Amino acid sequence: MKILLCLILIFPSVLVAQNLWKETVCGMTEQQVLEYFPEAQVPSKPSFIGTGAEEKLEIEKYRFRNRDFSVHFYFDDLGLAQVSLHILERNNHDALALVANELQIELSSILGEPTKKVEENDLLRTLDIEWDRQKTKIGIFVLSTGDSDGILNLNFQKKKTIGPNQAAHTTPASRSATGLRVWL
């Protein structure tokens, strides 16, 4: 028991690591991300996301699931907070929704059914698909207006700590953690 307690005190980050995308883990520094993705560069026009995290690294073109994406790494005060993949092909909403549905089928085979799937067809057409894991939220988002080209994003984001009165949707670790690493 003393040995287990010592290991917990010495290696706490290993026990609470939140995997995001590929080899990335929440809290990584920019330098650590660059060790895994040396092709990443400082973006010419960094952006911010709703959580306040800032884009500090990007990969302009990355082949993923037989499609070209740009990859964006967002950091907050605690390090890496989100990885977003933006599809580079330009297409209308219906074509991008088909891509999103293909990704959903693949992810669902690993993570189970999405915890959220909402499609709206107003002036802004959206498709929002999410999986809430214990410490990470994975989402596919499609947005377009009218018949104009749309966008498709695949996001891997750390979740905030869950309070005692909030339920967390979890999936079996043997199915989701191992399967997701293989899929990525």
Q: Which residues, 6+ apart, have CB-to-CB distance to 99 below 8 Å?
A: 67, 87, 152
Cα distance between residue 181 and residue 176, in whole Å = 8
What pTM did the predictor assign? Answer: 0.77
Highest average pLDDT, of 12-16, 76-80, 134-138, 162-166, comes from 76-80
What are the pLDDT digits (tens) for 36-65?
999 999 999 999 999 899 999 999 999 988
Per the prediction, the chain carries an average pLDDT of 81
59, 71 contact by CB (below 8 A): yes
93-111 and 173-183 are packed helices; what angle lies between their axes, rounded to 10 degrees? 130
pLDDT at 163 over 50: no
pLDDT at 174 over 60: no
What are the pLDDT digits (tens) for 68-109?
999 999 999 999 999 999 999 989 999 999 999 999 999 999
Residue ranges of the domains in the chain? Answer: 2-183
Comparing CA positions, the residue from 85, 81, 62, 106 lying closest to residue 152 is 85
pLDDT at position 65 is 87
